[in-house]
Structure 1
Amino acid sequence: MTDDARVPLATLRRIAVAGGIGTVIEYYDFFIFATAAALVFPKVFFPALGSAAGTTAAFATLGVAFVARPVGSVLFGHFGDRLGRKRTLVATLLTMGLATAAVGLMPTASRIGMIAPILVVALRFLQGLAVGGEWAGATLMAAENAPVARRGFWSVFGSFGGSVGLVLASCTFLVTGATMSEQAFDEVGWRIPFLSSLLLVGIGLVVRLRIEETAVFTEEAARRGTAPVPLAEAIRRQPREVLFACGLLVMVFAFYYIAVSYFLTYGTSHLRLSRTTVLALSLVPATMFGVSMAASAWLSDRIGRKRIIVAANLIAVPWALVLFPVVEAGGVITYCVCATVTVAIAGIAYGPIGAFLPELFATRYRYTASGATYNAAGILGAAIPPVIAAPIMDSYGSLAFGGFLAVLCLISLVSILALPDNRHVRMDGGASATESDSGTVTAV
C-alpha cells in the first residue's frame, strides 16, 4: 500500500488512538517524574544538600532522561527500522511502565542513603530510553498511513498524547496533594501516581497489540531490505538534514519544560504560591499546549509546515527576553498567563513536527533519523535550562537567563530556515519522493 492508496478512515482512527494512548501513558510517566522532581524529590532523595542545592540536584536527575533520550532513539530506532514500528512501540511502552512503577517503590534517602538517588537516576535513564524511542514510532505509524493532504492532522495524535499526559499527571498530583497532609504526601502520596501507571500500561498494551505494521515499512523491507545500521546510513545519505533537524526543536523543548516543570519550583519558592495553586494553574498551559498544537498541525496541511514553525520561532525570541521579568513583576494571574503563552508558542511550533520530521527522511532509516534528531534537541533545550535557571537568575538576574533562552530560539530559527518543507512528498519513496544520487529526499 502506498500514499496514493486510500487507507480506511476506521484504520486511521485506530492508528491515531494507538499512537495517542501510548504517548499519553509514556508522557504521563515522564511528567509525574518532572512534577515530583519539582515538589518532592529535593526533600526525599537529596535532603542533605539543602533546599537550593537539592532542587538543582533534582532537576539534574530530571535532565538525565534527556541525555538518555537520544540513546533510546538510536537503540529503539534501530529495531524500528529493522524489525518494524509496532513491535518496537510495545517494547518502549513496557520499558517506561516498569521503570516508572519501580520509582514509586523506591526507598528514600533517609532509609538507604545515597543508594536511593543513584537508583532513581538509573530508573530515570530507563525512562529516557523508552520515551526516546516512543515519539518517532508513534508518529510514523500515523504519518506512513495518512493521505498526503492530511498528514499533518493525523500525525499530530502521537504528539498530542504528551499534552494529555501532562494534564493527567498534574491532576493526579493535584488530587493526591489536596487530599493529604504535606507530611503524608511527602511520605506516601507522591508514590501513588507512579504506581498507577501500571494500570495505564496494561490498557496501552491491549490497544497497541491490535494495530498492524505500516505498509510503507513492510513494502520497503520486502523490496530493498532493511538498513544494517540505520543511523550511519542516515548520516551518510542525508547529513545536512540530520544536522539541522537536531536544532529544530530546541526552542520547543526549552519553552515547554521551563513552563511546565521549572515554573512549579519558581512559583512555590520565588512567588510563594502554594503547591495546590501551582498544580491547579498548570492545567491551563497544559490544555493550551494541546489546543495550539492541534490547530497548527491542521493548518500546516493548508499553508505549509515550515511557515508555521518559522513564525513561532520569530515570536519566541523576544518573548524569551521578557518572560521572567514579566513574571517577577506580577502575581498569580501573570504567572498563569506567562506559562500559558510560553507553551502556546511551543505548541504552535510543535504541531507540524510529527509530519515534518518523517517527511525529511527515507523509509530505510526514518524511525532512527526522526527520533535521534528529535531527541538530540532535548539535551540542549530541555535538560540544561531548568538546571541552570536558578543559578543564572540568582547571580545575573532574570534578563540574563532570558538572553540564554533567546539564543536557543535563534538556533531553532536558523535550523528551520535551512530545511525544506516536504509536505507534498510520498512516504513510500515512490513517484512523489525519491532518493537522489546523493541520498537526499526530493519531491519530483
Structure 2
Amino acid sequence: MSVPAVPLDAPPGQPRKAAMAAWIGSALEYYDFFVYGSAAALIFPKVFFDESDPATATLLSLATFGVAYAARPVGALFLGHFGDRADRKKIMVFTLILMGVSTFLIGCLPTRAQVGGLAPVLLVLCRVLQGISAAGEQAGANSMTLEHAPPDRRGFFTSFTLSGTQGGQLLATLVFLPVAALPEDQLLSWGWRLPFLLSFAVAVVGYVIRRTLQETPAFTQQAATEGVVRMPLVVLLRDHRVDVLRVVAGAVIASVSTIFTVWALAYATSDAVGISRSRMLWVGALANVAALGAIPLWAKLSDRVGRRPVFLVGAVGSAITMFLYLWAVSTRSYPLILVLGVVAFGVVYSAANGVWPAFYGEMFSTRVRLSGMAIGTQIGFAVAGFAVTFAAQIAGPDGDDWSAVALFTAALCVPPVIAAVTARETHRVPTEHLGVRDGLESAQPATVTA
C-alpha cells in the first residue's frame, strides 16, 4: 500500500470542532442509553415485569438492559461497513437520530398492566434500536476525532468522545434525581416517562451539530488516491484479525461501568441494603463529574507516556477498586460509598475509559478504522451488557452476595490486561502510518473502489 509522504493536516479549527461535536453528540446519545439503565434498575421491574416476584422482575429487567449490547455487534457490521466505504459524518448523524427516536418511543410505551405481555416485547424492540445506534456512535466519533487530531495529541482529542459519554451519563442521572423523588404512584404512572420523552430534542440537536462537520483529511485522501474499500470486513479480517480480537478483549473493561451503574445501583437500593434511590443516584452523578476531569488528564498522559501503561492502570486498578466499592455498599456507610464510588468509577476506571478511543483506533488504518473499532468494541461491549444479568444471578437468590460479584468483575478485567500487554505502542506513530506494518494492507483491486 502506498503511504502519503506528508502528514495529513486538518483545516484550522477542525480538530476542536470535531472533538466538540463528538463530545456533545456522545453526551446526547448516551444520555438516552443510560436513562434506560437507571430505569431498568429502579422502575421497569414494577412497570413491565410486575407479574413476577421482585427478584425475578429485577433479573428480567436487567436482562433487557443487556439486549441492546447483544444488538450492537450486528449494528456494528452494517454501520462499520458504510462508515468506511461511504462517509463517517453520515453515520454520526444517523446514529444520533436513531437513538433519539427509539428512546422517545420508550417513553410512549404502554405498561404491562395496560396491554399485558406485548409491553415488554415492545420495550425490547426499542432497546434493540438503541443498541444498533450505539454500535456506530463511538466508533464513528472516535474515527472522526482521531483523523482530525494533530498526531501528538490524538489521545487528548479522541478522549472527548468518552468524556461526552460520561457527560451523558451525568445528565441522565441528574434528570432521574427529581423523577426518582416523586411519590411512588406518580413515579410509576407517568414520572418515569419524562426522561425518555426529553430525548426528542436529541434528534433535532444532533442533526444541527453534526451536519456541518467536514470529512477527515485521512478519509478524503484515501478516497481520492487509492479509493475506499468495497468490502471493509474482508480487508479487516484479512489484515487485522488479531487486532480485532485485542479490541474485543479490551472492550470487556466496560463491564466495570455496567456493573457500577446498574447492578450496584439495584443492589444498594434493594431491601438487603436499603439506601434511598436519590442518595445512590448522587453517587453516580459525582463519580461522573470526577470522570469529566479525569478522562482528558489520563488521555493527555497517554500522549506523553503511551497508551498501554495508562490503560493497564485503569484495568488493574478497576479490579481492585470495584471490590472496595461493593464492600462499601454492603456496609451501608454512605460517606464510604460516596468516596470509593468517585475513586473507583470517576478516577481509576477513567484511565482505561479515556485512553481506549486512541488505543483501539490506532491499531487500524484509515481504510478499515471505523469497522475495526465498531466490530471489536461492540462484541466486547455485548459481554459487558450481559455482565449485569450474570452479576444478578451470581449474587444469589437474595441478591446480596456482593463479594461474588466483585470477584466476577475482577475476572472480567483480565482480558483487557492481556490485550494491553500484547498490543503495540502506537502513540508516536504518524497518523498516515497507523495500521500499516510488515507489508500488510497491500491494495487489492477486487476489494477497492474509487
Regarding TM over 0.5, the answer is yes
Shift of 1:7: 3.0
After superposition, where does 1:284-303 map in structure 2 within 5 Å? 284-303=286-305
Query: 1: CA distance between counterparts of 2:8 and 2:79?
Result: 29
Find the partner of 2:238 among 219, 236, 239. Answer: 236
After superposition, where does 1:24-35 map in structure 2 within 5 Å? 24-35=27-38
Query: 1: CA distance between counterparts of 2:102 and 2:377?
Result: 22
Find the partner of 1:281 among 270, 273, 283. Answer: 283
Give CA deviations for 1:182-203 in whole Å, capped at 9, x if unaligned. Answer: 2111111111111111113211
Shift of 1:407: 1.4
**Structure 1 residues 2 and 250: alpha-carbon distance in aligned structure 2, compared to 1, 3 A threshold:** farther
The RMSD of aligned alpha carbons is: 1.9
Shift of 1:9: 4.7
- Aligned partner of 2:367 in structure 1 is 364
- Aligned partner of 2:215 in structure 1 is 213
- Aligned partner of 1:348 in structure 2 is 351
Q: Does 1:427 align with 2:428?
A: no
Q: Does 1:268 align with 2:272?
A: no
**Structure 1 residues 240 and 175: alpha-carbon distance in aligned structure 2, compared to 1, 3 A threshold:** same
Query: Unaligned 5+ residue runs, structure 1?
Result: none
Query: 1: CA distance between counterparts of 2:38 and 2:318?
Result: 24
Shift of 1:87: 0.7
- Contact kept in structure 2, 1:3 and 1:427, CA below 8 Å: no
- Contact kept in structure 1, 2:362 and 2:435, CA below 8 Å: no
Q: What is the total number of aligned residue pairs between the two structures?
A: 435
**Structure 1 residues 5 and 366: alpha-carbon distance in aligned structure 2, compared to 1, 3 A threshold:** closer
Shift of 1:103: 0.3
Give CA deviations for 1:363-409 in whole Å, capped at 9, x if unaligned. Answer: 111101011111111122x2222112233122693332222222111
Query: 2: CA distance between counterparts of 1:95 and 1:172?
Result: 21
Q: Point out the more displaced range, 280-289 or 387-396.
A: 387-396
**Structure 1 residues 324 and 277: alpha-carbon distance in aligned structure 2, compared to 1, 3 A threshold:** closer
After superposition, where does 1:181-260 map in structure 2 within 5 Å? 181-251=183-253, 253-260=254-261
Find the partner of 2:307 among 305, 308, 320. Answer: 305
Amino acid of the residue matched to residue 177 of structure 1?
Answer: A
After superposition, where does 1:395-414 map in structure 2 within 5 Å? 397-414=401-418
Query: 2: CA distance between counterparts of 1:435 and 1:101?
Result: 46
Give CA deviations for 1:39-87 in whole Å, capped at 9, x if unaligned. Answer: 1100110001121111110110000011111211221111100111001
Shift of 1:295: 1.2
Query: 2: CA distance between counterparts of 1:392 and 1:37?
Result: 18
Q: Does 1:376 align with 2:379?
A: yes
**Structure 1 residues 129 and 66: alpha-carbon distance in aligned structure 2, compared to 1, 3 A threshold:** same
- Aligned partner of 1:122 in structure 2 is 125
Query: 2: CA distance between counterparts of 1:124 and 1:108?
Result: 15
Query: 2: CA distance between counterparts of 1:260 and 1:68?
Result: 20
- Contact kept in structure 2, 1:260 and 1:339, CA below 8 Å: no
Query: 2: CA distance between counterparts of 1:347 and 1:74?
Result: 27
TM-score by length of 2: 0.92
Shift of 1:316: 2.9
**Structure 1 residues 275 and 2: alpha-carbon distance in aligned structure 2, compared to 1, 3 A threshold:** farther
Query: 1: CA distance between counterparts of 2:204 and 2:425?
Result: 38
Shift of 1:6: 4.0
Query: Unaligned 5+ residue runs, structure 2?
Result: 443-450
Identity over aligned residues, as a percent? 33
Shift of 1:330: 4.2
Query: 2: CA distance between counterparts of 1:256 and 1:75?
Result: 26
- Aligned partner of 1:176 in structure 2 is 179
Shift of 1:258: 1.3
Q: Point out the more displaced range, 390-399 or 146-155.
A: 390-399
